[in-house]
Amino acid sequence: MSLTKRKTIGEVAFDILNNIGMLLICFVTLYPIWYVLINAFNDGKDAMLGGIYWWPRMFSLENFKAVFASPGIMTAMLLTVAKTLLGVVAHVFFTAMVAYAFSRRELIFGRFYIFLGTVTMIFSGGLIPTYLLIRDLHMLDTFTVFIIPVLFSFFDLIIFMTFFREIPDGLDEAARIDGANDWTIFLRVVLPVSMPVIATIALFHGVYQWNDYFTGIIYINKESLQPIQTFLYRVVAQSSSNIMTTAVQGSAVTKTVTSQSVKLATMVVTTLPIVFAYPFLQRYFVKGMMIGSIKG
C-alpha cells in the first residue's frame, strides 16, 4: 500500500500563485501578437475608432490586399526567402567546418585562436570601418552583402565545437581505419550525427536573416535588392495617417484601409513564415540548447 504525501497549505498556495504567474506571463507575451493580428484583419477606417481588444469588429481582408498590391513587396519577399535559405546553408556549413577544426585536440595554437575569437565577440571595428570594408570589397548594392559578412559567427562556432567534442572518438577512429580523411569524416560522419546543433544554429541564423532590416538600410540603395523587413521599416517610417480608399468589386460598399492597418498587416505577413518554422525545429532546438549542460 503506497502512501501519498499530502501538500501543506503553503505548498498549495505556492502552486496556485505559480500557475497564476505563468498565466500572466503567457498573457503579457501573447496578447500584443493577438492585438496586432485582430487589428490587421479589421477594417482600417473602423479600427481608427479604437475599442478593438479581443476580436475584429469589422472583419476585412482589404489590409492584406493593399499589402500585396504594394509595388515591390513580392520582390522583397522573394529576396528575403532566397537570402534566408542561402544564408542559413552557407553559415551553417562554413561555421561547422571551422568548428570541426577547432574541436580537434591536435590543432596547433588552438587555444590562441579561441582567445582571438573570444575577443571579437566583445570588441568590433564599428559601423563606419565595417561600411568602408564592405565598400572596398565592392559588395554595396549586391546580394552578397547579405551572405558573406555574416558567413561566420564565433558564438555559433563555440556551440558547434562543444557538440563536436562530445561525439565519441570511436566514430573518428573507425572512419580513419577505413581510410577516411578529415573531409570525409566531417561530411559523412560528423554532420549526419549533428542534426540537433545544426537545427539550432539554422534556427538562430534563419531568424536573424529573416528579421534583418539594418543591412538593407545601410548597404542597399537599389529597390530590387530591398528585403522585406527593410520594406516594412520604410513603410512604417514614411507612413502617414492618410486614408487609402479601395473599391470592392461587385459591391456598392467602399471599404478603406489606413496606413496603420497596412503596417499591422505587413507585420503579420512578415512574421508568420518564421513563426511557422518553429514547430518543425523545436525538437532539435531543445536538444541543441542543452549542449554542454550535463557532463558525464
Nearest residue to 295 (alpha-carbon basis) of 138, 165, 146, 181: 165
Per DSSP, the residues of 70-133 read STTHHHHHHHHHHHHHHHHHHHHHHHHHHHHHHH-TT-TTHHHHHHHHHHHHH----HHHHHHH
CB 99 within 8 A of CB 91: no
Predicted local distance difference test score (pLDDT) of residue 88: 92
Nearest residue to 207 (alpha-carbon basis) of 175, 240, 229: 229
CB 188 within 8 A of CB 214: no
Torsion sign (Cα): 51, 52, 54, 56: positive
Burial readout 213-236 (b: 16 or more C-beta within 10 A, e: otherwise)? bebbbebbeeeebbbbbbbbbbbe
Say how far apart CA 176 and CA 185 lie, in whole Å. Answer: 8
Residue with cell 498549495: 12
Predicted local distance difference test score (pLDDT) of residue 285: 58
Say how far apart CA 261 and CA 58 lie, in whole Å. Answer: 13
Predicted local distance difference test score (pLDDT) of residue 92: 93
In angstroms, the Cα distances linking 228 to 5, 35, 61, 138 are 57, 22, 20, 23
Amino acid identity, position 92: V
Predicted local distance difference test score (pLDDT) of residue 239: 55
Predicted local distance difference test score (pLDDT) of residue 282: 65
What is the phi/psi pair of residue 168, to 5°? -55, 135
Predicted local distance difference test score (pLDDT) of residue 248: 41
DSSP single-letter state for residue 243:
E
Nearest residue to 87 (alpha-carbon basis) of 149, 24, 179, 156: 149
Nearest residue to 73 (alpha-carbon basis) of 242, 262, 219, 272: 262
Nearest residue to 200 (alpha-carbon basis) of 162, 165, 159, 164: 159
Walk along the chain (296 residues) and give the pLDDT tens digit of each residue: 445 566 777 777 877 888 888 888 888 888 888 888 888 888 777 677 777 778 877 787 777 777 777 677 778 888 888 999 999 999 999 999 999 888 887 788 878 888 888 888 888 788 888 899 999 999 888 899 999 999 988 888 988 888 888 888 777 778 888 787 888 888 888 888 888 888 888 888 988 898 888 888 889 888 888 888 888 777 666 655 444 444 344 433 345 667 677 777 777 877 777 777 777 666 665 554 445 444 44
